[in-house]
Amino acid sequence: MKKQEIITRFIKQARIENYSEATVKNYASALKLFLQWVSQLNVDKISDDDIQNYLYYCKKKKQYSFSSMKQVLATIRFLYGKVFHQPIPKVLDIKLRKPVYLPTVLSANDIAKLLQVTHNLKHKTILLLIYSGGLRMGELLNLKIGDIDSQSMKIHIRQAKGKKDRYIMLSENVLTMLRNYYKRYQPNDYIIEGRNGGKYSPTSVQSVFKTALKKSGIRKKVTVHSLRHSFATHLLDEGTDIRYIQELLGHKRLETTQIYTHVSSHSINKIKSPADNLDI
């Protein structure tokens, strides 16, 4: 089977199985790199050693992250199981150890500063929408006018990560800002649109956030996604049940949401440091 035929079959099967276009694109990219690695071999007779050498190359030479290594493994498994229709090589039976990194969180005061220094209404609406509902960037960019339900005070997040729908709360402050925003910009389809209509770009959102960060004087190493982290942590700080937060974030597993318990001050602030007992 020729390289291009393998790629075509791979993409076709992934789409049949209803993988998102983003996932198909990422898997196809990983597949091309793998096929390029084994291009000197007969791809129908790749040995376990060949695969192991490639995995080692990805980890040690390319310094792939945990998520990138997961993607490589999933891609090769899919290749064997769904394209070659062969047993999955045992060398792929790997359980990667997931590193634990605590998310960097902005305080409520930091969030207020970001909004205060952002005077452009569209830019302020972008930042407030992401923070108020813990949105991923893609979820913000895919929001349409009809997804805002001012009667039930909910926002409908459609076909997010994992092709799942969910509802999040609609803040009164957000609704007020959205009404002012709509009057001024009059979007046609998406809530946040580019100058010529259509979806707003991810790079523009990142630029908005970086500008606000610089103006506010906040020096924490944060990204747009930190607004989502901050949303979850602030809910925990206020005593919100973690299972509700899981639903609001659209997490499949509770373990994913529990990372925020390590950065929340809800429990930590209840504990008195022994240093407070010292007479100094």
Contact 10, 31 (CB under 8 A): yes
Write down the catalytic residue from 77, 215, 225, 266: 225
For 253, the token pair is 């597993």
Find where tokens 């991810």 sit: 202
Could you give the 3-state DSSP secondary structure of residue 155?
A: strand
Is 260 one of the annotated active-site residues of the chain? Answer: yes
Write down the catalytic residue from 123, 124, 228, 229: 228
Could you give the 3-state DSSP secondary structure of residue 27?
A: helix
Contact 224, 130 (CB under 8 A): yes
Is 251 one of the annotated active-site residues of the chain? Answer: yes
Is 15 one of the annotated active-site residues of the chain? Answer: no
Burial (CB count <10 Å: 0-12, 13-18, 19+), residue 3: middle
Is 253 one of the annotated active-site residues of the chain? Answer: no
Write down the catalytic residue from 113, 229, 234, 251: 251
Q: What is the DSSP letter of 43?
A: G
SS3 content of the chain, % helix, strand, coil (to 5): 60, 5, 35
Write down the catalytic residue from 3, 136, 166, 215: 136
Write down the catalytic residue from 54, 181, 190, 260: 260
Write down the catalytic residue from 59, 161, 199, 266: 161
Half-sphere exposure of 86 (CA within 13 A, CB side): 14
Strand partners, 164: 160
DSSP string, 219-261: -S---THHHHHHHHHHHHHTT--HHHHHHHHT-SSHHHHGGGG
Residues with active-site annotation:
136, 161, 225, 228, 251, 260
